[in-house]
Structures are given as C-alpha cells and as structure tokens.
Amino acid sequence: MHSPGTPSHSNSSKRLFRDGRIVTAALFTPLVLLLFVIVMTWRSERRIAAVTDRVVHDYAAIAVWQYARRVNMALHDEVMQAFSGAPGMTHVRSDPSAPLEPPSGLLARRGTADNAFLEHAEIAFTYEAGADRLVTAGAPEPDRTREMLQRRLRALARDRKIGEEPHHVLFDSSGGRDYAVALWLVRHTEGDAAVAKGILVEAGALENLFRRVISQADLLPAVAGRRVLESADLALRLTRRDEAVVFATPLPLGTTAATDTSGIQGGALRATLDLPPELVAELLVGGAPQSLIPALLLILLVSGGFAATGLVHHRRSRALAQARARFVANVSHELRTPLAQISMFAETLHLGRERGEGERRRFASIMFLEARRLTALVENVLRFSRSEHGAPSLRLRRHAIGEIVANAVSTFAPIAEGAGASIEVMAGKELCASVDAAAFHQIVLNLLDNAVKHGGRNSSVHVSACLKDGMALVMVDDSGPGIPVSGREHVFEPFFQLQGHNVAGAGIGLSIVRDLIVAHGGRVWVEESPLGGARVIAAFPAGESEIVTGESPRAHVLG
C-alpha cells in the first residue's frame, strides 16, 4: 500500500486527468462535427435561398408587368366609357370660336353606367389651354383643388405631343384628399392648342378596378393546379410620382418585390408587386425547400445535453475514484501505524528484551490499544461499505443517554490519553431518548475521535447533553482550529478533507455519524465552540419510538 503523496498516487492522478481529457474529447467531438454540418447546411441553404429569391423576383417582375399593362388598359376603357355618348365628344375641334359644351352635361350622365368615374364624379370641368380658362360644374371645389387642376392641365397642355394618347387619368392630391382625374383631350385643326374635358373623383373610387384586374388577368405563367389570384394573395402597391400610395393590398412587400418600369398612364402611377411564400411553393417545381436548420439545432441541443450529462457523470465518477484512492491511501496509512506498533512490541516481547514486569505490561497495553484501534478501523470501514447499500437498520429503545455517553468517554479515554487530550463530561444520567444503544455509542465515539484528531496534542474536549424543544442534544466541543462556515456542511460528506487540516484518517467518521443520526430521525450540524474550536451538535427525538428490528451496529472508534 502507498501513503498519500507517493509517486503511485501522483501517477494515478495523472492517469485520471489524461483519461478525463480523452472522455471529454470523445463526448464533444461529435458535437463539433455536428456544428460543422449545421454551418455547411446553413451556407447551402443561404445559396439556395438566394437562387429562390431571384426566381421569385423574376416571377414578380412578370406579374407586375402584366398587371401594369392590364391596369393601363382598364383605366383607358373606363375613361372611354365615362365620356362616350356625351355631346360633342370628339378629339378634333374644327371651329375654335364655337362655344364648348358645358361640363354639367358630363355630370348629367352619372349613374347611367357601371363606371367608377360616372358613379363617383364630384366635379366635371372643361379647360381651354389657349385662354387658360377652367370651367367647373358639380360640388363647389376648394381653391386648392382648383389650383391643383389648373396646374396639372397647364403642364399637360405644355408637354403634350402630337399623336399622344388623348385619354388620360391623372393622380394628385389636394387638401389632404387623393384624387383621380379622367381626361378627354381635344386638339384644334389649326394648331396644338388643346381643350380638355374631365371628371374628378376620389382615388379610392378606383379601388375595385385595381382589385378586379388582379383576379381577371393572368399575372403569372400557367402552373398546374394554380388557383385564381385575389388581392389577398399578393403584396401590391400603386404609388404616384411623389411616392404617395394610391392603392395597396394588406400583405407587406418583401425582399423579392419587383417594380414595373414603364409606368401606368404615362408614368402617373408605378406598380410594385411581391409574391408571398405560400404562392412561391406553388410556382417552384417541387415546392420551396424546407430548412433543415431547426431539426439540426434540435439534434445539437439534445446531443449537447447528453454530452453535458455524460461529462458531469464522468467528472463525478472521476472525483469518486480520486476520493476512493485517497481513502485507500489514508486507510493503508492508518493500518500501517498500529500494525507497526504491534509488530515492534510483539517482537520485543518475543525476544525477551523488555526490562522488567512493568515494561512488559506497558508493551502489552500498547499492543492491546493498537489492536483495538486496528479492529475499530476495519469494522468501521465495513460499516461504511454497508451504509452505501442502504440506511442502517436500528433497534430503538428508551435509554438513559447520559450513561451511554459516559461509557463511550470511558472507552475512548486511553486513546485520548495517548493523544494528550483531556475530556470533560456534563450529561445527567436521567436524560432519556429513544435510540439504538450500540449506534448511539458509536456516534459518541466517532465525535470524540473527530474532536481529538482536529484538536491536536494537549487539546480539551467537552461533551454535554441536554433536552431542548423535545430533542435530546449531544454536543461535543474541542479547542482546535475550528471549521470555517464554508466547510460546515461538507464535513459530513465521505472523504471530505478541510484545506489546511493535516489530520490522518479515512475521512468517513462524520459521514457515518450523519447516517446513523438520520436513521434515528434526528439531525447533526456544526457551530463555533466556546472553547475556540468546533462544536458538533447531534439532535435525537426525545419521545417514544416504535421498535425497529435489525442488527445493531457494533461500537468502535473510527479512524
């Protein structure tokens, strides 16, 4: 056997450390590889998404071009229908001096056809570009609306080219309201001076027309099983030159939106359109690919959890192995000391080298004491081994615990005398509690052994017992260096060693004390002692308890 700090123990620690690194690498290498797969998958999906976005953008470009073309035609037809049948509606005026038909004639046709301009007309007007004269009929228009009309009509007359489309729809706003203006342009035979006739409505009056074009036009190439599109299926915006929105569907525009470059009604409106993901899945062959990243991340998370659990379990196993290695080293050291003593004095007696009867008796006493210590150590190691397989079974009886404490102190007195420690007892013999006598005896012995070991040479130990709040308390004080607050809960754990305390022992004495006290239904804790060291308090129920049959622990001093 090797004592602590020997090369064998150091080599064992190095081997455990090396094995720990191997296990850690084995646990987490698959996670690194899985993370690499996730990164590569993410990069591949980004490339696929970029290609998909380009395809969707191309489809959106086709759709918006088709829509702009069909809306342009629908607005042209709507203007033609609004003015057809009205008196004097020609595109050439041969007699400039002839009076113009009054605009009220246009308003008289309201309600005669299913036409947005005729149904919602607010103002009808005529405009002579040469005289810059605007005549209106209908609802009284605000000055700002009249100024808006004259400004737009002047610009139209100034910029109009020969052969240009005579039917127009203008879009503008005035006084916080958006307007659409249907125009019928007339030119003179002698020159380019123009006459304009028109109807003004709110821009919202054309909303049904804009929606109707979506469902009636084939905006996208034919795809097997494709349904008829509605306004809720597309993200569409119609905006004026100043970016004001004239018409919009509820869906928001995305990154794949496309804008028509030719414009509607000579650029009066601009259309921007995008396709939602559910429609993209119908257009792409095989549908839009599903992302594998969520599933891979879930696998990574679960694998990480298993790896972390395995690492924690491995570290606990390694810590237990190290603790057991220390335990074996400490026990071997504890065994070697009494064995060496017994062997030395036995050899002395065997060879007859003692100097008189008194020395022979002293050698025999030392051999007997060391044999008891050796037997106690072996028995308590066996007790600890049994306790790891379940709680100890006890036979509880009503006992005068003061007498048991006194007997335990008497049993421990030779060991205390050998360590140069003094023990003082204050425990009334009338104090009773329901305990297993042998187990209680063992508890007191272990507490005394712990106090003497940690108190050091020439230390003082004070043992007392009392009744408080229905609990029988046994308190063992020592004059040693004490136990810091941070270590008071851990001293009852197997193999725990306090930093800076060079105390020989197996490290299981207080662990057995805790197990036996808990089996009694009590508890144990550590406080600061009035003697300057540590006070260990064991609390037992003082009342009657049912008898629990089983083997009583044998009482021995624990190393």
Distance from C-alpha of 450 to C-alpha of 533, rounded to nearest angstrom: 12
* Helix%, strand%, coil% for the chain, nearest 5: 50, 20, 35
State the pLDDT confidence band at 501, using cuts at 50, 70 and 90: low
What SS3 class is residue 558? coil
Lowest mean pLDDT among 93-107, 135-149, 263-277, 435-449: 93-107
Q: What is the pLDDT of residue 12?
A: 55
Question: Strands of 258-259's sheet, edge to edge?
Answer: 245-248, 235-239, 270-274, 258-259
Q: What is the pLDDT of residue 250?
A: 92
Q: What is the pLDDT of residue 112?
A: 73
Per cent of the chain over pLDDT 70 is: 80
Distance from C-alpha of 523 to C-alpha of 218, rounded to nearest angstrom: 84
State the pLDDT confidence band at 336, using cuts at 50, 70 and 90: confident
The answer to whether 147 and 140 are in contact (CB under 8 A) is: no
The answer to whether 446 and 557 are in contact (CB under 8 A) is: yes
The answer to whether 540 and 520 are in contact (CB under 8 A) is: yes
The answer to whether 368 and 539 are in contact (CB under 8 A) is: no
- Report CA Rg, the chain: 51
Q: What is the pLDDT of residue 6?
A: 47
What SS3 class is residue 481? coil
Which of 194-198, 339-343, 526-530 shows the highest mean pLDDT? 526-530
**Which structure tokens are listed for 539?**
């609390």
State the pLDDT confidence band at 504, using cuts at 50, 70 and 90: low
pLDDT of residue 344 exceeding 50: yes
Question: In which element (H, E) is residue 538 found?
Answer: strand 534-541
Q: What is the pLDDT of residue 5?
A: 46
Rounded to the nearest angstrom, the gap between the alpha carbon of residue 361 and the centroid of all alpha carbons in its chain is 74
Residue 272: phi and psi, rounded to 5, are: -130, 130
List of residues 6+ apart from 148 with CB closer than 8 A: 172, 173, 174, 179
CA atoms in the 13 A half-sphere facing the CB of 190: 5
Question: Strands of 422-426's sheet, edge to edge?
Answer: 422-426, 460-468, 471-478, 534-541, 523-528
pLDDT of residue 506 exceeding 70: no
pLDDT of residue 32 exceeding 50: yes
Place of tokens 């272990």: 446
What SS3 class is residue 525? strand
Higher pLDDT, 245 or 159: 245
Residue 552: phi and psi, rounded to 5, are: -80, 140
Q: What is the pLDDT of residue 17?
A: 59
Q: What is the pLDDT of residue 4?
A: 45
Q: What is the pLDDT of residue 172?
A: 93
Q: What is the pLDDT of residue 552?
A: 35
pLDDT of residue 450 exceeding 90: no
Question: In which element (H, E) is residue 410 found?
Answer: helix 401-418
Q: Which residues pair with 524 in a beta bridge?
A: 538
pLDDT digits (tens, 9 = 90+) for 99-121: 677 888 888 877 777 888 988 98
Which of 357-366, 488-497, 525-534 shows the highest mean pLDDT? 525-534
136 closest CA partner among 170, 102, 101 = 102
pTM over 0.95: no
Distance from C-alpha of 186 to C-alpha of 54, rounded to nearest angstrom: 46
Per cent of the chain over pLDDT 90 is: 16
Q: What is the pLDDT of residue 463?
A: 92
Higher pLDDT, 100 or 357: 357
